[in-house]
Structure 1
């Protein structure tokens, strides 16, 4: 790796794996405190309140090229790891912005989970082809199921017992919301592990703790950013040091124009990696978004995908591209791939096509109450 994600690179951000030995019998008893639930609800309400934009509104966004770049990164991850007929679990699926990507991958079954009721409803209308902004695609080729619930608190293996195992799990720009407490972080990884088949893949994107902490320490105060984003840490982090014994609950406020305005949590990646290993999830790779772009833009098929998505212009008439400020925001994120331990059994036929619906009604949505 060009950028160090070794344990030594973030010694100030978290303990070694040995401090996180857990009791498997205790996993079902993960405890939540009320303040964490309040923050989770704030995040849910924020995303629920965001309305679907028209194409014109979207194109006028001050971060339109960043959004297109993020779509490219997600598309590359899906093209790299999704296979025809795969059963897909999309955690924090939001409004279903990746449905078309999964359709192009010719998956066989899709389950989307999100805490925000408004987002799940938007995802439903998008899947059904009912939304005005979605007229270009009338029907998806795979059956789907939607679940409204907190995937960092609910026991999804119980809810999805008849749907599992999944071939691939995706959690895009949302895993860090689980890092408010160790209990939530463990529940998130326990859910992924329990629902993935042996050899299954977990793909995702989330903030890069190394970059954020470095920027904090380079800043004059507790706030840093540019014309399209700012990050603010509370006074408790005035010394800009983080206890190695407390890698969870390191909260900051993140504002990104036309996208995000809510609390987030630092995820020290080496702690994430160690915790994931406890749940039989082994790291395949982790790359900062800048490194990811530089690596996969060497491949012609992904250059063409970038041209079609327009993050860097189309190379012809459209010379628009990411602004330096948008490119700086991209540097705040990383992409990761984990694999569930064990040998895959590809001989088992995927019988999931009779599980979901080809048209999802309001009554088809499953609501999961948090414990």
Structure 2
């Protein structure tokens, strides 16, 4: 049975989980049950980065992990990048990956800390750093462990995002997960993912579930992101919702765009030399949402 750890313990558990995940390498990632899902998710992130970045912009990546998106940012000709993550080992790997980029076209700095439970000023230098784009990819659900933590996350975003700046994230789709729970019960999944909810009512903050995704996440405690509460918190901090689409609808929206379809092939999401994305992977795709907020311009 899933047990919800106290906030401090869970943050340490998350850091330990990602610090201990083995690095598969490029070749290894191409031969797993979720290779198609990984490539699809990277396609989504690439399109988000292309759409919401401008040449020379400043980027703050809250939950940068091992730096897997650095090349995507470089291809968008950003000017500056700051990566932060709770897992210090991952931050070290991200920094190493940046140093290994050939003739990197942007400056980058990396900091290890809990981006959601603590003020960024604890480690971010300069402490008043302001970004044009703040990104949180597949990690923001940890902020919804409690209302206090969610509010700290929004304060961190609002305090370090420039007017008219964009806050973009990919998060689990709470509506999808809750509907699945109603039909299938507290445990459900398929050959590539598994979800187990803790018993009890669904609440705005702190609704925990255990999530496993083959070769990516192993029995990690995550939290539902209650979208109405997320939107309300954003508004309280001067951000307005600009986009909210599940990954399936995001895909359908981009099918009519030549550049997006071409990117599917170039990123090997569609590849004649590799099996098509499986039905189980496609179901797992539906777990996620694209969410974008924009900060109001100064009056």
Question: Does the pair score TM above 0.5?
Answer: yes
* 1:1-371 pair list within 5 angstroms: 35-129=6-100, 137-157=101-121, 159-161=124-126, 164-219=129-184, 221-234=185-198, 236-237=199-200, 241-242=201-202, 246-261=203-218, 262-313=220-271, 317-318=272-273, 320-343=275-298
- How many Å apart are 1:185 and its aligned residue? 0.4
Unaligned runs of 5+ in 2: none
- How many Å apart are 1:250 and its aligned residue? 0.2
CA distance in 2, matches of 1:55, 1:149: 27
CA distance in 2, matches of 1:139, 1:329: 37
Larger relative strand fraction: 2
Any runs of at least 4 consecutive aligned residues in structure 1 with deviations exceeding 3 A, and if so which? 157-163
Partner SS, residue 168 of structure 2? strand
Q: Check conservation: 1:206, 1:334, Cα contact below 8 A.
A: yes
CA distance in 1, matches of 2:120, 2:297: 21
- How many Å apart are 1:229 and its aligned residue? 0.7
- How many Å apart are 1:72 and its aligned residue? 0.4
CA distance in 2, matches of 1:119, 1:326: 26
Q: Check conservation: 1:157, 1:194, Cα contact below 8 A.
A: no
Structure possessing the higher radius of gyration over alpha carbons: 1
CA distance in 2, matches of 1:295, 1:160: 39
RMSD: 1.6
CA distance in 2, matches of 1:312, 1:332: 20
Number of aligned residues? 294
- How many Å apart are 1:43 and its aligned residue? 1.0
Q: Check conservation: 1:88, 1:111, Cα contact below 8 A.
A: yes
Unaligned runs of 5+ in 1: 1-33, 130-136, 345-371
- How many Å apart are 1:163 and its aligned residue? 5.6
Partner SS, residue 37 of structure 2? helix
Partner SS, residue 64 of structure 2? coil
Partner SS, residue 337 of structure 1? strand
CA distance in 2, matches of 1:259, 1:118: 16
Structure with bigger RCO (C-alpha 8 Å, 6+ apart): 1
- How many Å apart are 1:86 and its aligned residue? 0.3
Q: Check conservation: 1:127, 1:139, Cα contact below 8 A.
A: no
- How many Å apart are 1:208 and its aligned residue? 0.2
**When the two structures are superposed, what TM-score results if normalisation uses the length of structure 1?**
0.76
CA distance in 1, matches of 2:127, 2:206: 34
